[in-house]
Amino acid sequence: MISSVRERRFHEDFPVTALLLLFNIAFFFLETIGTLRKLGDMSELDIMVPIDPIVTYVLGSISFDDLSRGEYWRLLSAAFLHGSAFHLLLNMVVLFDLGKFCEPFLSSWKFFTAYVASALGSSLASAGYGWLKGNPFRTSVGASGALAGMVGLLLVHSIRQRDTDMRDGLLRWILMLVALSFIMPNIDHAGHAGGLVTGALFGISAPAYMTSRAAYRWRWPAYAAGAMTLVALGISAWSYFARLS
């Protein structure tokens, strides 16, 4: 008799990371279709051509003006939208890399909760900065604020636990986020800072070893984060098909 062990697939080992990648790519597909309708010629769209700002607005970009009108769903929808294919590619590379480390380290429950909370912190900081600068119409999109939150979480944890290997390993992700600041135009530094600080707060409570029981206690915050995310993305999709189709 010959026995074989089936190799586990990526989405089985890292279900939350896979889901986040899927939603980001799916919503970029909607952005691309909406932009192509305006361009009228697919040959005009390449990796660096920005998505039409009207399309990102309809799908859920964030600004202080939007929040003042009660459109709170944009706090999360903005974290699943991107300004160009290049913007998406850079963020998804970082998400893929960070997710494979963070998800097993924190547990899927806590990873998802911290990611969504960091996205919220990033959006609030971005909108607040626009208000402080006297530009309430300043908009922002992108997953990098939530990703900065994961870096902040790991950085605080590594400092508290005196984990020099983890701290040194963070350099790769920090350099990636810094590179975004120089490669991409109009980088939202306030959003990055908001995500970083929010994630850092989760880093204070990250133990050196996450037991199954401790991880399971995070299921209710994760359910709440999932419900909020689904509502936000549901409104985003409804807005897109109602106003652009």
Annotated catalytic residue: which of 144, 158, 236, 239?
Answer: 144
Q: Are 96 and 17 in contact (CB under 8 A)?
A: yes
Sign of CA dihedral 112, 118, 123, 124: positive
Annotated catalytic residue: which of 158, 192, 236, 239?
Answer: 192
Which among 109, 236, 102 is positioned nearest to 157, based on CA atoms? 102
Contacts of 87 (CB under 8 A, 6+ apart): 142, 184
Q: Are 47 and 84 in contact (CB under 8 A)?
A: yes
CA separation, residue 63 to residues 47, 69, 79 (Å): 25, 10, 12
Active site residue 192: yes
Active site residue 144: yes
Which among 118, 103, 113 is positioned nearest to 222, based on CA atoms? 113
* Active site amino acids: 144, 192
